[in-house]
Amino acid sequence: MEFSKFFNSTIKLNFILIISFSISVNSFILLPNINNSFYVLFHLTFIYLIFYHYHYYLYLVAMVYGILFDILLLNYIGAHIITFLSLLMLYVLLRKYLFRLSSFQIIFIYFITLIILLLIEQFLANQIHNYKFNMSSFLNFFLISLIIFVPTLFLFTKLDK
Amino acid sequence: MAPKFQIKVFQLSRFIKNFTIISVVTLSFLLVFFSKTDYYVLSGIKNLSSSVVIPITRFISAPINIFSNLIDEYNQFRSLKFENKILQEEIIRLKKWQTLAIQNSRENKVLKKLLNATDNNLILVKTASLINRNDTIYSKLINLNAGSEDYIKKNMSVINERGLLGKIIDTTSNNSRVILLTDPNLSISVKSITDGIFSLLSGNGDGKYLVSSFVKENKMPRLGDIVVTSGTAQIFPVDLLVGKVAKVEKNRFFVLPFVDFKNIDYVQIVTSK
């Protein structure tokens, strides 16, 4: 009982963030979709944290994970840190409008944000670090997002009770 | 007194909040801005990530790794009988080659003595094993368990028994980072063995083929031609095996690397004499 009290939903979501980050930056040759799935899950969790558990510590979280993703996946700082911080700032600007939306509309925006985030990361990686825009990789992310979106949302709402 | 104190606390927390946000955004902007020019900050972060973050992420992702290994073992077990048959045939074939190779080796030694030629232009710096790989999403990078303490330096070539793998891009005291040939951001100068056509190759982005970004005098090599490092850029030693020409188009050609990038266990870090 005490244990579950100590681990509130924000801490649990941060644990998911750490686990999904760790798995997404370690490639498994036989299970490449595992990497991609956890990469998408990380983004889903991060957006969920911003939408439902916004706190200014998330700026630090965005910076740390942004730098680590950039260093480990791209070898240069840029694409992820810019995307994460831009999302946070955009959320602060649009928060008052988001509060007026219905739950269905929020879920729709949640999914669209995820796809745009993944798209912008690829675009920035292409523009800043000269990585080729990989359409098949993006479609793979999109398909994984479609598959895991509803179960993840269900899990998160369960965590939030 | 109490409301005044509350206002002060509120103002302080607001100041901390604003200060954190502004400093994080400014620091991030500076990091992005200087990441391609400043060496020390970026290498410090890279050192920290390879010595602290990578071991932690490996520990956390260990269950998936175990699961992946189990699948691998199961697949190997399934194909055991078939592989055994192939290996038996291979042994017979190799025995024939062995006798031929011994004869050729003797002949080679004699000819080298006659020509007064040196044996090899490579110096082996270290044999290292793979720690982890980051080659599924975006770049094609791997991490090795040897670093500057083993005299590994930036830009040294990494090979295995099949040929060239890539080059060292970062080193820490005990680890080093390798950019693979299949990465679109790595270019290598190569030449074809039969025609001696010089060209530049870089990763195609699909992780399988290398594509030519420049071909000297626009002469295309033949299909099936073997491509080796030319040594002209003075980064890679000369004559390291790279791959085979798999597809030739009007202005470019594709090379299939000899190295199986999915099966990398042990590698050698080499440099030219």
What residue segments make up the domains of chain B, in order of their start? 79-115, 120-273
- The proportion of chain A whose per-residue pLDDT surpasses 70, expressed as a percent, equals 96
Q: pLDDT tens across B28-41, in order? A: 888 888 777 767 77
| Closest Cα in chain B to A33 | B136
Average pLDDT of the residues in B124-149:
87
The C-alpha of A97 sits at a distance from chain B's nearest C-alpha, in angstroms, of: 22
Q: pLDDT tens across B215-228, in order? A: 888 788 888 888 99
Q: Quick check: B79 pLDDT over 80?
A: yes
Q: pLDDT tens across A21-46, in order? A: 999 988 887 777 888 999 999 999 99
The residues, any chain, with a CB within 8 Å of residue B182's CB and separated by 6 or more, are B135, B140, B203, B204, B207, B208, B209, B210, B257, B261
- Contact flag B137-A36 (C-beta cutoff 8 Å): yes
ipTM for this model: 0.83
So what's the pLDDT on residue B208? 84
So what's the pLDDT on residue B98? 84
Q: CA torsion B197→B198→B204→B207, rounded to 10°?
A: 90
Architecture of the structural domain at B120-273: Beta Barrel (2.40)
Q: Give the number of A-B residue pairs with CB atoms closer than 8 Å.
A: 129
Q: Quick check: B119 pLDDT over 60?
A: no
Task: Let me know: does B262 contact B165? Beta carbons within 8 Å.
Answer: no
So what's the pLDDT on residue B99? 82
So what's the pLDDT on residue A19? 94
Q: Quick check: A78 pLDDT over 80?
A: yes
Task: Let me know: does B141 contact B135? Beta carbons within 8 Å.
Answer: yes
Q: Is the dihedral of CA B140, B143, B149, B152 positive or negative?
A: negative
The C-alpha of B135 sits at a distance from chain A's nearest C-alpha, in angstroms, of: 6
- Contact flag B45-A22 (C-beta cutoff 8 Å): no
- Contact flag A66-B28 (C-beta cutoff 8 Å): yes
So what's the pLDDT on residue A149? 93
